[in-house]
């Protein structure tokens, strides 16, 4: 499942280019003007921020914790590293990196949504890890950091929500130092087609009801299910990553492809 980058106008380029364009113009299943998408996404996370962590546990029955742990296992963080967690939300990935490096990592967490960050920061301060993180409000598509500032770039369940995925991947390349590591955890596409029906029932019937019941917000969880279906499959996303100079792109499926981790290096 490894690919070398296709930066030479190969046929895969039109498929990946189409995928990026489709994402920019869609909010779940709705076609939207790309310049309205980030406002719509912001509304989702403003609405769910207070119940975000609880909902993650409930809707995945805690499985998101195993996926995030698998990401950190593959990352194998070195304690002295400079880490950037993009779209870091309430801090799960940053916390796990800190724990794995005995709090020696130089950890920066960036998110566009101040409410998600506030939620994470107050949770982190209560639990004792929040002060080891530099919390930055910013846009993954235009990072406020100098080139080659980081050894590691992580993004978990964030890239599906941005408008221009190409900009994020270009920014990942720019802020990583040569030899730096890119790791992305995201919902993906089932590798076991016989599970599709049950998964669709869960996604489009159970999930919105759970969202309404726990977070008082049905629509945000409809968006979640729809945005997952709109996100490129594992191989297309792998090729998209490869278009931006990142190398040795590979992926691992989690839970039969419900989620996947994509890994790459800036060489």
Binding site for ligand SAM (CB under 6 A): 41, 45, 87-89, 92-93, 111-113, 116, 139-141, 156-158, 161-162
**Least CB distance to ligand SAM at residue 26 (A):** 14
Which DSSP category does 206 fall into?
I
Q: Select 155 or 246, whichever has its Cβ closest to ligand SAM.
A: 155
Q: How far is Cα of residue 171 from the mean position of the Cα atoms in its chain?
A: 14
Q: Select 5 or 20, whichever has its Cβ closest to ligand SAM.
A: 20
Q: How far is Cα of residue 1 from the mean position of the Cα atoms in its chain?
A: 20
Query: Phi and psi (nearest 5°) for 33?
Result: -70, 135
> Is the CB of residue 252 less than 8 Å from the CB of residue 44?
no
Q: Select 5 or 241, whichever has its Cβ closest to ligand SAM.
A: 241
Which DSSP category does 180 fall into?
E
**Least CB distance to ligand SAM at residue 41 (A):** 5
Q: Select 160 or 266, whichever has its Cβ closest to ligand SAM.
A: 160
**Least CB distance to ligand SAM at residue 196 (A):** 23
Helix (H) or strand (E) holding 222, with range, is: helix 219-230
**Least CB distance to ligand SAM at residue 128 (A):** 19
Query: Phi and psi (nearest 5°) for 129?
Result: -110, -10
Rounded to whole angstroms, how far apart are CA atoms 241 and 15?
13
Nearest residue to ligand SAM, scored by beta-carbon proximity: 89
**Least CB distance to ligand SAM at residue 14 (A):** 25
Q: Select 138 or 245, whichever has its Cβ closest to ligand SAM.
A: 138
Best CA proximity match to 86, nearest among 173, 1, 189, 19: 173
């Amino acid at each position: 499942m490894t690919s070398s980058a296709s930066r030479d106008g190969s046929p895969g380029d039109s498929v990946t280019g189409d995928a990026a364009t489709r994402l920019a113009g869609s909010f779940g299943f709705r076609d939207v003007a790309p310049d309205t998408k980030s406002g719509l996404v912001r509304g989702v996370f403003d609405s769910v921020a207070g119940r975000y962590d609880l909902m993650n546990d409930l809707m995945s029955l805690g499985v998101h914790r195993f996926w995030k742990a698998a990401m950190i296992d593959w990352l194998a963080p070195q304690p002295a590293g400079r880490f950037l967690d993009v779209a870091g939300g309430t801090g799960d990935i940053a916390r796990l990196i800190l724990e794995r490096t005995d709090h020696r990592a130089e950890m920066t967490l960036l998110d566009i949504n101040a409410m998600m960050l506030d939620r994470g920061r107050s949770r982190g301060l209560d639990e004792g890890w929040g002060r080891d993180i530099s919390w930055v409000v910013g846009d993954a598509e235009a990072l406020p950091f100098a080139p080659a500032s980081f050894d590691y770039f992580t993004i978990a369940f964030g890239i599906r929500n941005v408008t221009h995925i190409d900009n994020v991947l270009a920014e990942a390349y720019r802020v990583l130092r040569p030899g730096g590591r890119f790791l992305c955890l995201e919902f993906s596409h089932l590798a076991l087609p016989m599970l599709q029906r049950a998964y669709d029932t869960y996604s489009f019937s159970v999930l919105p009801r759970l969202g309404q019941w726990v977070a008082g917000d049905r629509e945000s969880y409809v968006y979640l299910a729809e945005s997952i279906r709109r996100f490129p499959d594992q191989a297309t996303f792998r090729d998209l990553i490869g278009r931006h100079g990142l190398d040795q792109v590979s992926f691992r499926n989690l839970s039969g492809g419900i989620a996947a981790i994509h890994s790459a290096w800036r060489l």
